Amino acid sequence: MAAIEKDFHGSVVYQVYIKSFCDSDGDGVGDLPGVTSKLDYLAELGVDYLWLTPFYPSPQRDGGYDVSDYRAVDPAYGTMADFDELVARAHERGIGVMLDMVLCHTSVEHEWFRRALAGEERYRAYYILRDGRGSSGPGDPGQPPTNWDCAFGGSAWKWEPRLGKWYLHLHDVSQPDLDWTNPEVRAECAEVVRFWKDHGVDGFRFDVVNLISKPEVFEDDLCGAGRRLFADGPHIHEYLRELVARAGIGDMLTVGEMASTDLANCVRYTRPEDRELSMSFSFHHLKVDYAGGSKWELMEPDIARLREIFLEWQEGMQAGGGWNALFWDNHDQPRAVTRFGGREGVGLRGSRWDHVGKMLAICVHLMKGTPYVYQGDELGMVNPGYDSIERFRDVETTNYYQIMLEMGKGPEEALRVVNERSRDNGRTPMQWSARPGAGFTEGSPWLEIPASHKLVNAEAEVGVVGSMFEHYRALIRLRHELDVIARGSVRFLDAGPAAPKVIAYERTLGEKRVVVACSFDAEPCSIADLGVSGAEVLIGSYDDEPPAGALRPFEGVAWIM
Ligand code: NOJ
């Protein structure tokens, strides 16, 4: 099966969270045949690649990012034959398939960990095992080796009597970290990637890959919970180069999920001469509404800060020769439309919801980098607004809900916070239609379908002039048709003192110039002269042209000259 060859600079990737995309057999969980059945939809949208989140066997403690076998398909999602069929049918439509490689940790149910538990030295050496602090000898755990926290709350270390050691887990307790200093681990991981390459896939997304190289010395973090000590570790660039070379994927689309990273490292991860990855995801722009830096403390998004971050990453990656993955949403994020615009007008053309969704899409799709559409973005899907903690499934959410209660928040307040911040906000079933089950399932969905599916759904939008879907389709087409968008240089513009919540930038290539201005303001505002008078409007979030020198609430516009 020949891989798809595309230039990623001019491409758009669509992310499928398989569990919630399309259920073909009525068990309430999405599956591979379900994805195959929707390829015509993706072709109509016009995307170039489809990134599939993990579908490997997994106990599902962390939505499939706890892999128990890297080389198989979980029966809940189908068979290997279903997978091969999906790749073949995607290729027929010119769509490449990218897989998610979760190589920082395994599940405790992975054979390697089981064999470590059984005492096999070879496999004990696959994981990061340490003695406890203050331990009096074998059998006495003592205290965790460092004060690092895991991503989902609580210590990053677990005492395991069968190992006689503490093992490191930067995520859930069921996700022990692999020891990448061990050459056998690195070789095994490269073999896993090669296995899927040989199945004809076209690219890879590497999960939290900048956490694979741990610090040389394990010590307490005196100003935090450890993350800054173990992100972008000492051998990370060497390990990535080695992985890419060994697996033979240097010509494929590769993207690294980079947790708590910085610009200098992302330049190195992605500039072509280093032969690491094609592009990187960074997350700083999605923390502008974390009060005091905490995901679980709410505040209004700080748009001035958002602008600074985009400016730094757009112009900085360009200056260093790196390449950004561009996105608002994924399976770990609440829906950006709710986050930046609230709940007003959901599903109604010309409403705040409509303007916010379209403006957000303009804002990232016309930047320099490769845009990622997360399933349902193109419909304007919103957070579900669940009425009870019982509705949530995500391990991070349920852990932090308890932590918030322990820290003194009342149940109502804690529910309000998870309704804004839970990863389940982005994981609700895809809204294909207004019918019960939202066209996602004929059975009982694994996660409750939001009431909004009655208004916000594919059936109501595909082919409907002025819909969110058609807006996304138009943006994707613009990237395919205009070199200035795919390849032009980027420079941020100052929209003036009366427009503190406007993000503006220009893209230029030769004589061509595209100017983009996006207002995150719920009030109208005047904007400085961006040199666009008389220019043609390329696309906008309102149906009609913007007033001269001003933007309406949540208006996004691009002009071309
Ligand atoms: C990032 C993934 O996107 C997330 O869903 C997962 O929980 C962590 N990595 C751990 O694998």
The helix (H) or strand (E) run that includes residue 525 is strand 525-526
Structure tokens at 266: 């992302």
Atom number in ligand 1 closest to CA 257: 1
CA dist., res. 488 & res. 212, Å (int) = 34
Q: Which of 23, 31, 74, 207 is catalytic?
A: 207
Angle between helices 183-197 and 236-247 (to 10 degrees): 40
The 10s digit of each residue's pLDDT in 251-303 is: 999 999 999 999 999 999 999 999 999 999 999 999 999 999 999 999 999 99
* CA 402 to ligand 1 center in whole angstroms: 20
Q: Could you tell me which of 543, 506, 503 has the C-alpha nearest to residue 527?
A: 503
Tell me if residue 109 is catalytic: no
Which of 332, 395, 423, 427 to probe ligand 1 with, by most ligand atoms within 8 A of CB? 332
Angle between helices 352-365 and 468-481 (to 10 degrees): 20
Q: Are 49 and 97 in contact (CB under 8 A)?
A: yes
Residue ID of nearest Cα to ligand 1 atom 5: 332
Contacts 24+ apart (CB under 8 A), 151-160: 151/396, 152/62, 152/395, 152/396, 152/399, 152/400, 153/396, 153/399, 153/400, 153/402, 153/403, 154/399, 156/226, 157/130, 159/132, 160/117
Instruction: Let me know if 512 is exposed, middle or buried by CB neighbors in 10 A (0-12, 13-18, 19+).
Output: middle
CA dist., res. 296 & res. 289, Å (int) = 10
**Sign, CA torsion 413/416/418/421:** negative
| Ligand 1, residues at Cβ distance < 6 Å | 62-63, 65, 102, 171, 207-208, 257, 331-332
Which of 16, 51, 55, 65 to probe ligand 1 with, by most ligand atoms within 8 A of CB? 65
* CA 254 to ligand 1 center in whole angstroms: 17
Tens digit of each residue's pLDDT, the chain (561 residues): 567 778 999 999 999 999 999 999 999 999 999 999 999 999 999 999 999 999 999 999 999 999 999 999 999 999 999 999 999 999 999 999 999 999 999 999 999 999 999 999 999 999 999 999 999 988 899 999 999 999 999 999 999 999 999 999 999 999 999 999 999 999 999 999 999 999 999 999 999 999 999 999 999 998 877 778 889 999 999 999 999 999 999 999 999 999 999 999 999 999 999 999 999 999 999 999 999 999 999 999 999 999 999 999 999 999 999 999 999 999 999 999 999 999 999 999 999 999 999 999 999 999 999 999 999 999 999 999 999 999 999 999 999 999 999 999 999 999 999 999 999 999 999 999 999 999 999 999 999 999 999 999 999 999 999 999 999 999 999 999 999 999 999 999 999 999 999 999 999 999 999 999 999 999 999 999 999 999 999 999 999 999 999 999 999 999 999
Which of 51, 52, 171 to probe ligand 1 with, by most ligand atoms within 8 A of CB? 171
Tell me if residue 257 is catalytic: yes
**Sign, CA torsion 182/183/185/186:** positive
Mean pLDDT of the chain: 97
* CA 330 to ligand 1 center in whole angstroms: 11
What letter represents residue 407's amino acid?
Answer: M
Q: Are 316 and 270 in contact (CB under 8 A)?
A: no
pTM: 0.98
Which segments of 327-467 are extended strands (E)? 370-374
* CA 53 to ligand 1 center in whole angstroms: 10
Q: Over the Cα atoms of the chain, what is R_g? A: 23
Greatest CA separation found in the chain?
78
* CA 284 to ligand 1 center in whole angstroms: 16
Sheet bearing 489-493, strands edge to edge: 489-493, 502-509, 512-519, 556-560, 536-540
Q: Which of 82, 172, 257, 377 is catalytic?
A: 257
